[in-house]
Amino acid sequence: MSYIRKPAARHPSLRPNALGLTLRDYEGAMSTMCAGCGHDSITAAIVRAFHETDTPPYMVAKLSGIGCSSKTPTYFLSGAHGFNSAHGRMPAIATGAAAANRALTLIGVSGDGDSLSIGLGQMSHAIRRNVNMLYVIENNGVYGLTKGQFSASADRGSKSKRGEPNTQQSIDPVMLALSLGATFVARSFSGDKDQLVPILKAGLAHRGFALVDVVSPCVTFNDHDGSTKSYLYTREHQEAAIEMSFVPHRDEIVAEYAAGTTREVAMHDGSVVRFSKAPEGYDPTDRRSVMDWLAEHQSSGAVPTGLLFLDPGANPEMHAASKTPDTPLTELPYESLCPGAAALESLQRGYR
Amino acid sequence: MHQGGLTGLPSVPYTEAPSGPNDFAIKLANVNGTGSASANALLMQAIFRMGIPVSGKNLFPSNIQGLPTWYEIRVNASGHTARTARYDLMVAMNAETYAADIAEVRPGGWVLYDSTGPLKKSLQRPDVTFLGVPYARLCLENFAGARERTLMKNIVYVGTLAALLDFDMSVLSGMLDEKFGKKPALRESNARAIQIGYDWAKAHFDCPLPIRLERMNATADSILIDGNTATALGCLYAGATVAAWYPITPATSVLDAFKTLCERYRVDKQTGEQRYCIVQAEDELAAIGMVIGATWAGARAFTATSGPGISLMGELVGLAYYAEIPAVIVDVQRVGPSTGMPTRTQQGDIMLCAYASHGDTKHVLLFPSNPAECFHFAVAAFDLAERFQTPVFLLSDLDIGMNDWVVPKLEWNDDYRPDRGRVLTRDEIAALPRFTRYSPEDKLAVAARTVPGVHEKGAFFTRGSGHNKLGGYTEIPEEYAEVMERLSRKHRAAAALVPAAVIEKRPGAEFGVISLGGCDLAVREALEQLGRRGVSADYLRIRAFPFGEDVEAFLESHDRFFVVEQNRDAQLRSLLVLETPVAKEKLLSVLAYGGFPLEARQVVEGILAQLPDIEDPDFADRRERPRRAS
């Protein structure tokens, strides 16, 4: 276990956010991951992202499937409703929750087995439907709870702990999401909190499906030589394809661009994503240029990271497509849903 | 005698001859996709509007165009409108199935056929009357274009039947006005087609036939509706806002109807906003997941599917059961196993639904017998699902779901408000020292739940993994079992709140008959026929599982019961044996599961075959004795 329960005493350095809540208020139960697990770093980044975006914990629904990654929602936001569902089925359950109450902030935490094998269909269709949620894949290339089988994200030629090579083609969630029309696609590394936290914050602000694939090494089963999801390999091959900063809507948006800013994208809630240091020919709002660039760079073994693609207007969010009112369906009074006896009487005149 | 015919049933001399007007069955043999369905529905609707009890059954193939399809209309002044395979009149419009169709007509009956070409000698029968109308020639002479000629052939036979059976022409004319009010050209050609058929019959046949219609006033307070539309109406009136589904015969029209109804009643006229969200899911696994997610978040949500979909939903049904999340699942049953016969009816999912999913699970099932009950039980399903925080299955079937039925007009009480069960409000949560999900329990063994987005103190972790009564993860045997025991008590408690069984006692009853769902009409007719033969039986129609005390008491009232159901393995009987104290030997089975709606004849024969003490010469020559369940 990677850390013990923290003392209830409030450290003076804990800064309250706009809601008066400190980072501690966004934490959850004690983690039961292995010491050094990448997932714990992601949990910490999620805690920070929710704190810094002033999200009220009770308005958050945190959902997951089955697997090591899917255990982690217990370890953040104890004030939020959680749903540890069934293997690969979280996207559908999240879709239903989103349909019922659009005011909720949904975060789904999944793994490469959960999302790319048993739940590949559901994740793909949640992307297609553009369900408004932040979807984090804690990607370690391996099945941890069943002790080390390759997952569908394991790269061809990479080796298992016992030295056995993976002979099958890997599924890359980033390229998959791009081809499915995802409107927010990012990849990061659990060991790079500076990059991950702003991506998660932008993902929360994004109206639609925000896919964040996070390489998250498994210290027990996939952190050896020959693995392409180890700490060492990822540190050596990670390459920030593009940098970004997230400017929340409450901050004054200054007119001039920061040095190196190549593009700004306004989010639906008024916040802004500022891209910088984009390589030549790379436009983070142009799906094709992103796919071409990634295809070329990934073939050499590089692990390009960053908020790789963002186009909030590319595809309407599920509720926009369904023309549902701003008021959540759960809040509609019954009287506005039931046509009543008189309407039934007149309807039945047509059943004669 | 014919060779089994397309009903798959041997023909049996029917001893109860038509008793005058308004007592006959006709079968219309058509080619799928030629427009016969609307002509046949028109006939059935016209009879309904003449105030006469009627049923129409579409026996259709799993096909878009080209295969044989049949429609059966049964008219019965006494209200016996279960299917009967005793056809007084065959409308033989499909040359490919002539042989089998003609063979099915009862001796003394009539065959109406297209006499444009000669009828093969081998097809003729001395004991039936052949009524030839040159439909193809008449349409060639009177209509232009191949498509119109094909379509109008159906309408011309409507006209012939109108003369032969003495339809009220003003009723037919009124229906054309309604149907083609805005399309005068179509109205004219349809009216002309009817007149052509009518005139031909009047000129060439002795009209009307002895089997004929006579106006009644038996349907004034009734409607004509299919079960899937009625189910959708129930979901609308229950206040369901989220529906997730995957297309499947015969459940698709539940969602089609729900969408149409929502478009009519749930769209804001000014803004165009839709007070519902229908998601066509990628498969049934996702459909049930969406329902569970939506109800977990506080909406009323449902899905509609058939057996294959239930098989896929099993996994998450167990999650909803164990995590105690409401869900309404409509199962419009079709013939299984596997793909089975998608366009044929069966009651084959009883056991599957009762214990759907791995581990110890047990669900609430509702068994509507007709579209009116589909409507009311759909509403009840939502109340029960939320009251007991559990999946509730509404087990309809293809016959109920897709055929038009004459049922009493649906009534609605505007005082109805949804029973949301124990869902804590913001203030209630705030007042609690600490919220725990799975305790304390109420008299129904139900604990209070909270939904997301209401109050921080109401937050908890929903999980399908082992949990204790506080909602925490556990692997401790006693803590796990404590929750499982309560779930069992909860299921038993539901017995008092589900729709009660319908019990009919008869003086001098020698045994009991037990049935469910769409068997009802055939069973009632059978009981009446048996009564006329001096065999008296009590009747129990089970309308829900878990079984209530009324069911258990009935099972003590006789030494012998016949359980009538439409599946091979006597699933209702099995459920009764498993879930009540009844001795298995007391329950005998009458089973008919070939895919067509149940007939009274099958019930009568099935019972008499197992009553060795009753000698009945009328049934002595039956060829196939129904099986006895072991």
Among 3.40.50.11890, 3.40.50.10420, 3.40.50.970, 3.30.43.10, name the CATH number for the domain at B225-408. 3.40.50.970
- Predicted confidence at residue B466, as pLDDT, reads 97
Residue type for B81, please? T
Tell me if B225-408 shares its fold with B502-619.
yes
- Closest CB from A92, A95, A100 relative to B298: A100
Question: Distance (Å, rounded) from C-alpha A110 to C-alpha A135?
Answer: 8
Question: Distance (Å, rounded) from C-alpha B367 to C-alpha A330?
Answer: 29
pLDDT in tens, A174-189: 999 999 999 999 999 9
The answer to whether B529 touches B519, Cβ cutoff 8 Å, is: no
Measured between CA atoms, how close is A253 to chain B, in angstroms? 30
Q: At what angle do helices A340-348 and B227-238 cross, to 10 degrees?
A: 160
The model's pTM is: 0.95
With CA atoms as reference, report the closest residue to A8 among A20, A25, A21.
Answer: A25
Alpha carbon of residue A143 to chain centroid = 20
- Predicted confidence at residue B622, as pLDDT, reads 40
- Predicted confidence at residue A300, as pLDDT, reads 86
Measured between CA atoms, how close is B472 to chain A, in angstroms? 11
Taking contacts as CB-CB distances below 8 angstroms, the residues of chain B near A337 are: 236, 239, 241, 266, 275
The answer to whether A172 touches A303, Cβ cutoff 8 Å, is: no
Segment A289-305 mean pLDDT? 93
DSSP class per residue in B271-324 = T--BS-EEEE-SSHHHHHHHHHHHHHTT--EEEEE-HHHHHHHHHHHHHHHHHT
Residue A1: pLDDT band (50, 70, 90) is very low
Sequence-distant (6+) residues with CB within 8 A of B591 are B564, B565, B566, B567, B568, B570, B606, B626, B627, B629
Taking contacts as CB-CB distances below 8 angstroms, the residues of chain B near A125 are: 281-282, 286
Third-level CATH fold of B502-619 = Rossmann fold (3.40.50)
pLDDT mean across residues, chain A: 93
Question: Distance (Å, rounded) from C-alpha B231 to C-alpha B394?
Answer: 9
CATH code linked to domain B23-204: 3.40.920.10
State whether B223 and A93 contact (CB < 8 Å): no
- For an interface test with B, give the residue of A93, A106, A120, A344 to mutate (most B CBs within 10 A): A93
Domain boundaries, chain A: 23-331
Measured between CA atoms, how close is A180 to chain B, in angstroms? 14
- Predicted confidence at residue A249, as pLDDT, reads 81
Encode A149-198 in three state secondary structure.
EECCCCCCCCECCCCCECCCCCCCHHHHHHHCCCCEEEEEECCCHHHHHH
Question: Distance (Å, rounded) from C-alpha B134 to C-alpha A297?
Answer: 75
Residue A54 has a CB neighbour count (10 Å cut-off) of: 13
Provide block-wise average pLDDT over 10 residues at a time, chain B (630 residues): 33 52 97 93 97 96 91 97 96 96 97 95 96 97 94 97 98 95 94 97 97 96 98 98 98 98 97 98 98 98 98 98 98 98 98 98 98 98 98 98 98 98 98 97 98 96 97 97 98 98 97 98 98 96 98 98 98 98 98 98 97 60 42
- Locus of tokens 């109807």: B257
State whether A100 and B455 contact (CB < 8 Å): no
| Residue B226, φ and ψ in degrees, nearest 5 | -90, 155
The answer to whether B446 touches B386, Cβ cutoff 8 Å, is: no
Strand runs labelled E in B334-423: 364-366, 391-397, 404-408
Kindly tell me if the per-residue pLDDT of A169 is higher than 80: yes
Which H or E run includes B605? helix B600-608
B328: β partners: B302, B392
Taking contacts as CB-CB distances below 8 angstroms, the residues of chain B near A120 are: none
- For an interface test with A, give the residue of B412, B424, B429 to mutate (most A CBs within 10 A): B412
- Predicted confidence at residue B615, as pLDDT, reads 55
How many beta-carbon pairs below 8 A join chains A and B? Answer: 221
Question: Distance (Å, rounded) from C-alpha A192 to C-alpha A234?
Answer: 10
- For an interface test with B, give the residue of A55, A85, A87, A125 to mutate (most B CBs within 10 A): A85
- Predicted confidence at residue A9, as pLDDT, reads 65
Measured between CA atoms, how close is A222 to chain B, in angstroms? 26
Domain boundaries, chain B: 23-204, 225-408, 426-496, 502-619
Measured between CA atoms, how close is A172 to chain B, in angstroms? 21
The tokens describing B339, both together, are 């793909």
State whether A121 and B283 contact (CB < 8 Å): yes
- Predicted confidence at residue B629, as pLDDT, reads 41
pLDDT in tens, A59-81: 999 999 999 999 999 999 999 99
With CA atoms as reference, report the closest residue to B277 among B292, B266, B288.
Answer: B266
A270-308 core/surface letters (b: 16 or more CB in 10 A; e: else): ebbbbbeebeeebbbbebeebbebbeebbeeeebbbbbb
Query: CA-CA distances (angstroms) from residue A146 to A66, A68, A88, A221, A247?
Result: 11, 10, 16, 10, 41
CA angle B167, B172, B173 (to 5 degrees): 130
- Closest CB from A101, A104, A352 relative to B223: A352
Measured between CA atoms, how close is A238 to chain B, in angstroms? 35
Question: Distance (Å, rounded) from C-alpha A92 to C-alpha B320?
Answer: 14
Question: Distance (Å, rounded) from C-alpha B197 to C-alpha B159?
Answer: 4
The verdict on ipTM greater than 0.90 is: yes
CATH code linked to domain A23-331: 3.40.50.970
- Predicted confidence at residue B18, as pLDDT, reads 60
State whether A95 and B292 contact (CB < 8 Å): no
